A and B are shown apart, each in its own frame.
Chain A
Amino acid sequence: MGNRPPQDEAERQRLAEERARLAAHRGKATWGEKLVPLGEFRAAVERSGRVLAGEERAAEVASYTAPRGDKVAVEGPYSKVIVFGGVYNNHRALAALLDEAERRGAEAIYCLGDLGGFGPSPNEVRPLLEAGAVRTIQGNYEESLAGGAEDCNCGYADPRDNHFAKLSYGYTAEQTAADFKRWMGQLPCRRRIRVGNKEVLLVHGSPRRINEFLFASTSPDPFLEVLLEQEDCDLLLCTHTGLHWRRTLPSARQVANVGVIGRPANDGTTQVWFAVLEAQTSGEVAIELVPLVYDHLELAAEMRREGLPAEFVETILTGWWTTCLEVLPPRERALSKY
């Protein structure tokens, strides 16, 4: 950088402007693009908005947190059910899960959606769901496929994530049979079941949005308490993030993300996860998150035959996610290899 006089002059001018700008702020408030005396701004603020009386405030909070009533019929009662999500075309894990359900004597099997994407041969999934009499709700993948959308509605900002999300959605969209897509379109977005004496709400992402992420480190207790109050349920089960967790809230209500059976949980192992709900003699419900081992080598070979990206195959073989990591909150991301 030379010290040629014209630049110096420009710099001097810039600094002078800067000083003038800062001096102008003293004792003033910025109201839009104008500077006004602080008192004038504060007085206008005082007049703006509404200030409720104590009991009105209590009424506002009560109506905000009150149950909203979705009128969904309650299925059951059951004493033992299996709940899983995120098949991602992994029909081999799905077959293993059905065997496991039979071995454990589950009375019903529920799937929380995201049947496609990532893995090979989407049409293998449907006959398995039928064979197992699996009751399914719609995930964002089904919503997008049935609606003919251009992408999976995950909304990635990172160009690399977006590239892989498009690849995986494109493959599934192209391969999935038209009547399978139609079937996906008529799936319900939520179900309610009774296990023991508890009512369980089943959703894909969250009760509010099909593509909302409920990660452990970004779903605080007070938030979940209000959510379950508004949804009028004792237990809430979801999927969508790919990472399983469970928590008992201070009110004794429970929340679990059942994880996914389509790909490993980004923990360096090749197993995948599902949930078993079992009524206790007390009427309480025990939620167990269970790892599932399946023939992942066969799946990897099939993915290669189908020409799916090597990055996806790597995840199946190593247990580490290689794409779509940007949605992970810092705590979950720190545990991740990539």
Chain B
Amino acid sequence: MSSTVAPKTANPSVAAPPPRAPRVELRSLDTLWFQVAGTVCNLACRHCFISCSPTNHTHEFMPLAEVERYLAEGAQLGVKEYYFTGGEPFLNPEMERILEATLKVGPAHVLTNGLLLDDERCRRLKLLAEGSPYSLDLRVSLDGLTAEANDPIRGAGSFDRVMAAVRKLAEVGINPVLTVTEVLAENGSAEGKESFLDLLRTLGVDKPRLKVLPIFQIGAEAERGGAYQSWQRLAEGDVMEQGWDHLQCSSCRMVTGQGVWVCPILVNEPQGRMGETLADTLNSYPLDHPACWTCHVHGVSCRT
């Protein structure tokens, strides 16, 4: 083909991959993610690496029946844990029934922004958790210790609403993991971590838990904080076999309404889609996206 005409499948956001990116084998399918609310969210955070918002329908809600098909296939393949994300999972009207179905076959984790956690829902979630032999874990996102620090990133009023949500969870006896990104550098420092743990204590969480995640310079975050530089790419030999455990794509897959993807990070890249069923996606994957560089350098595990 002519060098002046880009092939139809070319990704408009990413230059041609470097030659021979390292390939990661799927060691074991331990973690199965569901983009259960698609890219639809009731917030539109400035650092959201998949640019979720009320109007973003790149990925749509997943109906219960579709989730159940993958749960059955996941059980057959021995999946160890299920993660639910979006967008905001609780926007999906079937979310609680989806959790009920999941908790029959394994532990479930929900990544939520907390906005839809009212008293009633907190109580129902507590019942769901008590009705299963497996753990139900909620991860609630926050990005600053005060409204002044948090809200410019996550949206006006979000700080107060998260505070209220965590308080309600603590009241019904659910101990959420507070998830914080390094969008503010101080969030990840030892002092920052202590301050977030203290904040949880003031909200009535007596056994506070915290998870700090690096940021991916894609999606909305690329606009806010800048995109990747051309040198931030992996080449053959960068990732040794011993390093694979640090890459979640060696032990996870992500299901959306449009099939099965390599990981929860690349759902806005058509090339991240590996197949239709889990069985289609047990093969290896080339790490030729700049976000892979972040995973490699930070050893990101999105697990709790």
Contact = CB atoms under 8 A, between A and B. Distances in A.
B175 interface: yes
A209 interface: yes
Interface in A128-186: 157-159
Contact of A157 (B12, B56, B134, B210): B210
B78 A325 contact: no
Interface string A47-61: 111111000111011
B175 A333 contact: yes
Interface string B240-256: 00000100000000000
B54 A44 contact: no
Contact of B44 (A21, A42, A61): A21
Contacts of A219: 80
B252 to A, nearest CB: 14
B53 A217 contact: no
B27 interface: yes
Contacts of B56: 25, 30
Contact of B13 (A34, A42, A220, A229): A34
A47 B8 CA distance: 11
Chain A facing B: main interface SS: helix
Interface residues of B, number: 72
B268 A61 contact: no
Contacts of B222: 33
A18 B44 contact: yes
A44 B44 contact: no
Contacts of A56: 279
A25 B14 CA distance: 20
Given A33-B223, A225-B78, A329-B137, A26 B55 contact: yes
A208 B27 CA distance: 9
B270 A48 contact: yes
Interface in B155-209: 173-175, 190, 193-194, 197, 207, 209
A218 B134 contact: yes
Contacts of B194: 159
Interface string B87-110: 000000000000000000111000
Interface in B233-292: 245, 258-260, 268-277, 279-283
Contacts of B197: 158
Contacts of B137: 329-330
Contacts of A38: 57-58
A51 B77 contact: no
A30 B273 contact: no
A217 B39 contact: no
B268 A45 contact: no
B106 A220 contact: yes
B255 to A, nearest CB: 13
B171 to A, nearest CB: 14
A338 B129 CA distance: 20
Nearest to A230: B78
B278 to A, nearest CB: 8
B219 interface: yes
A222 B79 contact: yes
B17 interface: no
B50 A50 contact: no
A31 B270 contact: yes
B141 interface: no
B58 A32 contact: no
A157 B51 CA distance: 28
A49 B11 contact: no
A158 B193 contact: yes
Contacts of B280: 49-52, 57, 60
B269 to A, nearest CB: 6
Contacts of B223: 33
B279 A209 contact: no
Q: Which one of A25, A28, A51 has the highest number of Cβ atoms from chain B below 10 Å of its Cβ?
A: A25
A331 interface: yes
A28 B174 CA distance: 38
Nearest to B277: A57
A334 B107 contact: no
A36 B207 CA distance: 45
A338 B207 contact: yes
Given A21-B53, A30-B219, A41-B270, A223 B279 contact: no
A251 to B, nearest CB: 12
Contacts of B57: 25, 29, 38
A330 B136 contact: yes
Q: Which of B135, B197, B211 has the most CB of A within 10 A?
A: B135
Contact of B51 (A30, A209, A333, A338): A30
B303 to A, nearest CB: 10
- Tell me which of A32, A217, A229 has the highest count of chain B C-beta atoms within 10 A of its own C-beta: A32
A72 interface: no
A31 B281 contact: no
A334 to B, nearest CB: 7
B143 interface: no
Nearest to B276: A51
A217 B135 contact: yes
A226 interface: yes
25 contacts: A21-B53, A22-B44, A22-B54, A29-B58, A32-B269, A33-B227, A34-B12, A38-B58, A48-B270, A49-B260, A51-B280, A52-B275, A61-B279, A157-B211, A158-B193, A208-B27, A208-B28, A223-B30, A223-B79, A223-B106, A224-B78, A225-B78, A330-B129, A333-B207, A334-B175
Given A42-B258, A217-B135, 12 more contacts: A22-B53, A25-B53, A29-B268, A49-B275, A57-B279, A58-B279, A65-B76, A158-B197, A159-B193, A226-B77, A331-B135, A333-B209
Going nearest first, the 7 A-B pairs with the smallest beta carbon separation are A32-B13, A226-B78, A44-B270, A220-B106, A222-B75, A57-B279, A25-B55
